[in-house]
A and B are shown apart, each in its own frame.
Chain A
Amino acid sequence: MLIAILVILAIAIIFVLILAGIYNGLVGARNQVKNAWAQIDVQLKRRHDLIPNLTETVKGYMQHERGTLEAVTNARTTAIKSADSGVAAQARAEGELSQALGRLLAVAENYPDLKASQNFLALQEELTSTENKISFSRQFYNDSVLQYNNKIQMFPSNIVASMGGFKEGEFFEVTDTVEREAPKVSFS
C-alpha cells in the first residue's frame, strides 16, 4: 500500500517537473523573441545617430547634391518622429530612410575627393555595418519567432502554452518599399 502511494507520488512529482520544464522553455523562447526585437531597435537608433555626422562630412564635397542630402535629413526626421506613431508608420519611415541613404552613398562614388577622406570612409564603414546589423538582427528575430511558434504549436508544449496564455509571435517580413513590417508581438 505504502509502495503504491509512493509510486503515485513519484509520478505526480515527475509530471509537475516536466510541466515546469516546458513552461520555462516557453518563457525562455518568449524572452528571446523580446530581446531579438530590442536588438533591431538598438541598430535603428544607431543609424539615426550616425546620419548628422554623415551629412556634416559630405556637405562640403557635394555642392551639387543638395536634394539628395535633404532627402536623407528629412527621412531621418520623419523616422524619428514616427517612432511613437505605430509600428507600421515607423516601418515605412525607416524604409524610406534606407533608400535615401543608399542613394546618397551611391552618388558619393562620383566624388573622388570625398572617397579619399578618412572621415567619410569611417562613416561609410559604420553605416554599411549598421545596415548589415539591422538585417542580421531581423534574421535572428525571425528565427527566434519560428522557434517560439513551433513550441506553441507542437505537442505537448501546446497544452502548456494555451494554459499559460502564450500568443504566437509575428514574423518580420520585408517588402521592397517597407523596411520594417508590423511585428505585433503580443506578450500577454
Chain B
Amino acid sequence: MWEQIRDNQLRSVILVTALGCMLILLGSFLGQTVLGDWSIGLLLALLIWIVMTLVGYFQGDSILLSISNARKIGPDDMPRIYNVVEEMKIASGFEKMPDIYIIDDPALNAFATGRDKNHASLAVTSGLLQKLSRDELQGVIGHEMAHIRNRDVLLMAMCSILLGTIVMLAWYGSRILFFGGGTRRSSSGGGNAQIIILVIALALMIFAPIMAQFIYLAISRKREYLADASSALYTRYPEGLASALEKIGASTEQLKSANNATAPMYILNPFRKNGRAAEDLSSTHPPISERIRILRAMAGNVSLAGYESAYNQSHKGGGGIIPGSALAADDAALQRDTSSAGITQSEKERARETSDALWKLHNYREIACNCGLKFKTPPDFHGDTFTCPRCGTVHSL
C-alpha cells in the first residue's frame, strides 16, 4: 500500500499524453488556418502551456488558496482541527505537517493542494468544522491526505492547466477564425487542401475541449474512489467518512468561492444541483450515495482489498478501482471496534469553537472576565480600559 501506485501512474501518464497531443494538434491546425504556418501555431501553443504550467507548479497553491479566501491557522488557533490533521499525518506516514487553512463559508467542503508532500496545504470550510464530529473530520482529512499522498493534487493541477490551455486556444481560435482577423491564406492554389484543413481545425476546436474535459473527469473520478479507500485505511474507520459524506451531501449550501477549475480539488463537487444525483459522465466526483454505500459495505476489512471487493459488490464485478500493485502489497486490515473520538462535542459547542477561532483570525482580541462573560474587542478598538457590563470589573487592555 505504501508503495507508489504504479498502475494508476501509468494510466495517468497515458491520459496526460493524450491531452498533450490534443493541445499540439489544436495548436498546429490553428496555426495553419489562422497564420498559415504549422510551426508558429505549435510553438505558440507550447509556449502558453509551459508558462501556465510553471506558474501553476510554483504558485498554484497560493493562487488557489487566495481566490478561496482561505486563512492559515496555527496549532493554538484551533487545536481540534490541528490535532486531527496531525493524527492523519501520522497515520499516513507524512514527515512534514501540511499547512492548514480555514475558509469562512457555511458550505461543507474541503480540499488539498500543493505539488508534493513537502508543499502540501489543506483547506476546510468553517461549516465543515461546525457540522462534523471528530471521527467524521478524521475521515475527510484522511481523504485529502490521500490525494496528496497519491500525488493526485499535482496531477489534477497539471491536467487542469492543460485543459485550460486547450479551452483557451479553442476559444480564441474560433473568435479569430469567424470574426475576421488575419486569415492571410498564403497560397492561391490547393483550395481542396485548404478546406480540409479548415474543417479539421473547426472539428478540433469544437471537440478538443469536450474530449479534454472527459479525459479530465475520468482521471478525477477514479482517484476519488482511491482516496476514499485510503482514508478508510488510515482511519481504520470507514463509518467516519461515510457519515461525513452523508452530512456533506445533505447540506444545501453552495460554496461561494469555488469555480470550474477548482471543482475537482474538493471532497465533494461544489456545483451539484440540489437533490440531483450527479452520476453522469459530466461529473468530477462519483455519486455520493455510491461512495457511502461502498464505505458501509466494507464490513470489518478496511484494507484497500476490502474496498475493492465492496466496490465490486455494488457494481456486479467490473472493478479495477484499486490498482493491482497496491492490492498485492496489501493485507487485511481490521476495523477499529469503536470510534476514537473520546471527546463528544455538541454541534453548539463546535459552532462556538469555530466562530471563536474565526474572530481570533480576524484580529479580534478576547477578554475573559472573572464573572464568566467573554468579550471580543475589534482590531480598531481604541481605549485602554474596558468595563464588564455584568459585574463592573475594569479590564485594562
Contact = CB atoms under 8 A, between A and B. Distances in A.
Given A143-B2, A147-B329, A136 B90 contact: yes
Contacts, number: 57
Interface stretch (B79-87, B98-106, B253-261): B79-87
A133 B90 contact: yes
B87 A133 contact: yes
Nearest to B340: A132
A140 B87 CA distance: 11
A139 B91 contact: yes
B331 interface: yes
Interface stretch (A59-67, A84-92, A118-126): A118-126
Contacts of A124: 343
Interface string B341-382: 111000000000000000000000000100000000000000
A66 B368 CA distance: 30
Interface residues of A, number: 26
- Chain B CB within 10 Å — which of A35, A43, A139 has the most? A139
A32 interface: yes
A125 B79 contact: yes
A79 to B, nearest CB: 20
A140 B86 contact: no
Nearest to B2: A147
B1 interface: yes
B282 to A, nearest CB: 37
Contacts of B80: 125
Nearest to B79: A125
B324 interface: no
Contacts of B343: 124-125, 128
B331 A135 contact: no
A147 B90 CA distance: 17
Given A129-B83, A129-B86, A150 B93 contact: no
Given A126-B79, A132-B342, A146 B331 contact: yes
Nearest to A150: B329
Interface string B63-87: 0000000000000000110011011
B342 A140 contact: no
A135 B83 CA distance: 14
A54 interface: no
Nearest to A25: B3
Interface string B1-38: 11100000000000000000000000000000000000
A110 to B, nearest CB: 16
B91 A129 contact: no
Contacts of A75: none
A131 interface: yes
B236 interface: yes
A139 B88 CA distance: 11
A128 B91 contact: no
Contact of A132 (B79, B87, B93, B95): B87
A58 interface: no
Interface string B218-242: 0000000000000000101000000
B1 A131 contact: no
Interface in A154-187: none
Contacts of B331: 146
Interface string A24-66: 0000000010011001000100000000000000000000000
A39 B2 contact: no
Given A122-B79, A133-B87, A143 B342 contact: no
Contacts of A36: 93
Contacts of B340: 131-132, 135
A44 to B, nearest CB: 13
A122 B84 CA distance: 14
Interface in B322-340: 329, 331, 340
A133 B342 contact: no
A187 B87 CA distance: 27
Given A122-B79, A125-B80, A136-B87, A144 B342 contact: no
B93 A131 contact: no
Nearest to A116: B372
B83 A126 contact: yes
A128 B342 contact: yes
Nearest to B84: A129
Contacts of B86: 129, 133
B199 to A, nearest CB: 50
A150 B2 CA distance: 12
A129 B2 CA distance: 24
A139 B234 CA distance: 9
A80 B382 CA distance: 50
A32 B93 contact: yes
A137 B90 contact: yes
A128 to B, nearest CB: 4
B91 A136 contact: yes
A143 B92 CA distance: 10
A146 B328 CA distance: 12
Closest 10 CB pairs of A and B: A129-B83, A128-B342, A136-B91, A136-B90, A132-B87, A137-B90, A125-B79, A140-B93, A128-B343, A132-B340
8 contacts: A32-B2, A43-B90, A118-B368, A125-B80, A129-B86, A131-B340, A136-B234, A144-B93
